[in-house]
Structure 1
Amino acid sequence: MNSATSNFEVDASGVSPKQLHGIIPSLKLADGNEIPMLGYGLGTANYKSGAALDTISEPIIAATVTALSAGYTHLDGAEAYGNETELGRAIKQSKLPRSQLFITTKTTVRAGETVTQAFNRSLEKLGLDYVDLYLLHSPFFAKNAEELHQAWREMEKIKDSGMAKSIGVSNFLIEHLQTLFDIPGGLQYPPVVNQIEYHPYLQHVVEGGQDLIAYCREKHIAIEAYSPLTAITKASPGPVDPIYTKLAKKYGVSEAEVALRWCLDQGIVTLTTSSNEERLKGYLKKLPSFKLTPKEVEDIAAAGKEKHYRQFWTQKFDANDRR
């Protein structure tokens, strides 16, 4: 999975946003489809809940159009974010050909309904005929293995329909993935992506035990990182801070760009949720212009293991659970 990152060594200084579309590399998934390695996420920064769910947010539409105009063609949404309608409207307003876009959404499996019902609802809100990637948003809805198996069988049927080009999971640990692989009769389509919170302070490695990243790679499941800037935005100060500062100075980039590059240099698809146009353009300009050395990648990883911080799903894990 690491081979795709070599394209990020291209010098992008002075390149316009439209030209940048051509130098953001894609990662080939196990099903043969390709996913752009840098994406714009509509999660934390553009989340809607409560009474806001009954309204249309023009700021969310505008922020998403800004990301598209800046050069982001990979957009990551979810029903749980409450903004699929805004995502769909932004796509229409951008006037970009659908074939140039990579659209992800995720299912929220509600009590008493099927994955298929949730998927159809998402497509209607998005105003699209298909999505490029559809994910089970988490394994925690399932009370037992049979419920998880049933959900995945529906995911496979959705892929067969052509309305989701690829299917995968999000927030799955090794035991949840293994449950899928233990499905009676075997998998017709294994998950090709596992989207997880990933940053130096949550590398999903248990000392002397499980390594989620290694497991996924063994199973040919691509890793997609959300909240890759957590060490800077939520968990600072910490042991990676001086390393980020040193490398930012060395390469003439921001600490955030070092943090994103750290994920990319591991062959990990990376999402950003910034709504700042200049920052978004800066990522597209700077990230292809430098590459961390293997030692620098390892130095950040080693320092990160000195601290543990989980931003999401904290109610599902003990305070020091690093899985």
Structure 2
Amino acid sequence: MANIDWSTMPLKGGVLIPILVFGTGTAWFKDDPNGPFNPELVQVLKSALAKGFIHLDAADSYGTEREVGVTIKESGIPRDKLFVTTKVLEGWRNVPRALKESLERLQLDYVDLYLLHNPYVIPTTEDIQSAWRGLEAVKASGLARAIGVSNFQCYHLEPVPETCTEPPALNQLEYHPYLQRSDNYVAWMQEKGIQVSSFKTLAPVTVAPGGPLDAVLLSIAAKHARTPAAVLLSWAIGNNVIPISKTSKDGRMDEYISAVTVKLLPQEQEESRS
């Protein structure tokens, strides 16, 4: 495991979350927690840990928790040196049972962050509030150090504090220069102490090349001797957003990790907004 001085951001309750995440969705998505085991993913995750990543992101709906668990067990890295996030989707009606099953697949006694994955599978606001009480219960029992949500829009998030005792510590959602959220939503969450984590942060270079940011990103990347992808990750971090990166290539892992050592100038941060 490479010795990298990871910066962190504080979550509610004092838990510190590393500012860059290695994700296990998309390419390895199985849509079945107990589907065929993927040894290729284990090798990729071992490479990520060897490169220095310490924060792994999973979900019961990705079907990748077993691979994450095997990776951690075989890595030999002490549990307290890693940060593990997972999420609950269909199990929202009985969150304690869902987390127990996730922990069995992960071969862990606890997760550092547990998220309610998607409000769109939960029928009503009252059901969201009920599911959230389940997350409060697993935090109180010590099975999750911090709890939060994913894919929540403002109208999903606003009713949660009405009945909760432990407000969400984080919201994980799509965020990049081409999707910065309307009505200052990100700033609104941050003002309330809800950290923001982003997926698809690299969309301008992965799924939307040829856009107005291409030349800007290349120019900034050249000034910092980095790549456009590293600039985008650094841009998110500069906005106090925790980006999730995913790749199976060792070179890309190095590229993404290099983002944590880049600090964009205020002008560059603004230029990267598109």
What band does the TM-score fall into relative to the shorter chain?
Answer: over 0.9
Letter in 2 for 1:18: A
Equivalence for 1:13? none
8 Å contact from structure 1 (residues 192, 221) kept in 2? yes
CA distance in 2, matches of 1:49, 1:41: 15
Within 5 Å, give how 1:1-323 maps onto structure 2.
18-20=2-4, 23-49=5-31, 53-110=34-91, 113-183=93-163, 187-205=164-182, 210-284=183-257, 286-301=258-273, 303=274
What is the Cα deviation at residue 223 of structure 1? Answer: 0.5
Backbone CA RMSD of aligned residues? 1.5
CA distance in 2, matches of 1:228, 1:216: 18
Structure 1 stretches of at least 4 aligned residues deviating more than 6 Å after TM superposition: none
Of structures 1 and 2, the larger Rg is shown by 1
TM (norm. structure 1) is: 0.82
CA distance in 2, matches of 1:232, 1:182: 40
Q: Any stretches of 5+ residues in structure 1 without a counterpart?
A: 1-16, 304-323
CA distance in 1, matches of 2:231, 2:208: 16
CA distance in 2, matches of 1:294, 1:238: 22
CA distance in 2, matches of 1:235, 1:42: 22
TM (norm. structure 2) is: 0.96
What is the Cα deviation at residue 269 of structure 1? Answer: 1.0
CA distance in 1, matches of 2:31, 2:167: 32
Same amino acid, percent of matched pairs: 37
Q: What do residues 158-209 of structure 1 show as CA deviations (whole Å, max 9, x unaligned)?
A: 00000100000001111111011222xxx2110001011111111112xxxx
Q: What do residues 17-45 of structure 1 show as CA deviations (whole Å, max 9, x unaligned)?
A: 6221xx11011112111000011001113
Q: Any stretches of 5+ residues in structure 2 without a counterpart?
A: none
Higher RCO (Cα < 8 Å, 6 or more apart)? 1
CA distance in 1, matches of 2:232, 2:114: 26
Partner secondary structure for residue 18 of structure 1:
coil
Further displaced range: 87-96 or 211-220: 211-220
What is the Cα deviation at residue 288 of structure 1? Answer: 3.8
Partner secondary structure for residue 196 of structure 1:
strand
